[in-house]
Structure 1
Amino acid sequence: MSAPTEIPELVTSTLDLSRQRGFISSTRHETGRLLAALAASRTGTLAELGTGTGVGSAWLSSGAPKEARIVSAELDPALAEDVRQIFEDVENLQIVSGDWSSLEQYAPFSLVFVDVREVMEQIDVLASLLEPGGIAVLDDFVPSAHWPPIVDGQVDSVRERWLTDERFAAVELMIDEGASLLIATRR
């Protein structure tokens, strides 16, 4: 059994690709471990909207049961192909080359991971893609001690909307002193 500080092999491979491609940031290990833990409780289809180098998908795969399906969309076709090669032996994970909306055909989702701000703004679409009880994990927020949440002197309307939308039971979770995420469960 691996210790909590160890990184799954697929995650390491996607982090290597991140470095090769010059990506400055990727899914934090703390967020990844949370994704793996949430994925372990899911069945059906899980999705990552915005694959990047596949770090989030690798974390989802490390926790998801074998019968769960994971789909992820990457806009850059060359990057999508590189990520596909990393996951070529993972039977329940599919990388789609295209915009995040290309995954709508695989809905409903039991879990969706989003770390692209423009996608988070599409709350109505995302709500329609989640099954009842489905979980949205929204990454890359800056913690705010204020309500409404203030970032750079302005209200973070995306975060405010997710935390107050009647369709969700939602919570902000601080990952470290400079980072937080939202977990929203579809009612």
Structure 2
Amino acid sequence: MSAPTEVPPLVSRALDLSRRRGFITATRHETGRLLATLAASRTGTLAELGTGCGVGSAWLSSGVAEGARIVSAELDPKLAEAVQDLFSDTPSVEVTSGDWSALERYAPFSLLFVDVRDVKRSVDLVADLMEHGGIAVLDDFTPSYTWPPIYEGRVDVVREQWLTDERFVAVEVMVAPDASVILATRV
């Protein structure tokens, strides 16, 4: 059985923007469907660190519960403006120009999609942004079937830190044979 090929219209528009801007990577459909599913279970403020062309935020908005909102920050001001235009008819999504720290004022988050490599490496930083019971989703892992987790012949210390930090209950979840995410709930 193959995965559904249809994507929500807003996700399709974000993917089009991504192609026009020359981005060769965007949130995978498998991860996007997981984001939409998790967003449907959350209230309060959801966030994406690392907007890019808005694909992750579009997936979040396709499942977001009524009354919840999504905030996202993009470092490139021109790209942030293009993504703001993309979401102009989606009042639950706010895109700002700036690095991840531009979103600190919106914390704590009930769901945080972390798509910024440097932030993903800092469990402390993410923990400070999360509400208790909030879920962090960390993208772009290659599945590891060993402990400690190995990537490219070395211990993957980032993954190991997330899976063992006492402030989170965390699990690595395969979203495709070649891709996994870490789901970490703040306790």
TM-score by length of 1: 0.97
Deviating more after overlay: 71-80 vs 110-119: 110-119
Q: What amino acid sits opposite 1:53 in the alignment?
A: C
CA contact (8 A) 2:119 2:125 kept: no
Deviating more after overlay: 112-121 vs 72-81: 112-121
* Aligned equivalent of 1:157: 157
Residues 30-84 of structure 1, C-alpha deviations (whole Å, 9 max, x = no match): 1000000000000000000000000000000000013101000000000000000
Residues 149-172 of structure 1, C-alpha deviations (whole Å, 9 max, x = no match): 111111110100000001111000
Q: What amino acid sits opposite 1:122 in the alignment?
A: S
Q: What amino acid sits opposite 1:116 in the alignment?
A: V
Q: Give the C-alpha shift of residue 4 in structure 1.
A: 4.5
Q: Which runs of no fewer than 5 residues in structure 1 stay unpaired? A: none
Structure 1 CA distance for aligned equivalents of residues 117 and 34 of structure 2: 20
Counterparts of 1:26-175 in structure 2, within 5 Å, are 26-175=26-175
Q: What amino acid sits opposite 1:34 in the alignment?
A: L
| Aligned length, in residue pairs | 185
Q: What amino acid sits opposite 1:171 in the alignment?
A: V
Q: Which runs of no fewer than 5 residues in structure 2 stay unpaired? A: none
Structure 2 CA distance for aligned equivalents of residues 19 and 6 of structure 1: 17
Q: Where in structure 1 do 4 or more consecutive aligned residues deviate above 6 Å? A: none
Q: What amino acid sits opposite 1:79 in the alignment?
A: L
Q: What amino acid sits opposite 1:29 in the alignment?
A: H
Q: What amino acid sits opposite 2:61 in the alignment?
A: S
Residues 11-32 of structure 1, C-alpha deviations (whole Å, 9 max, x = no match): 0000000100111110010100
Percent identical among aligned pairs is 69
TM-score by length of 2: 0.97
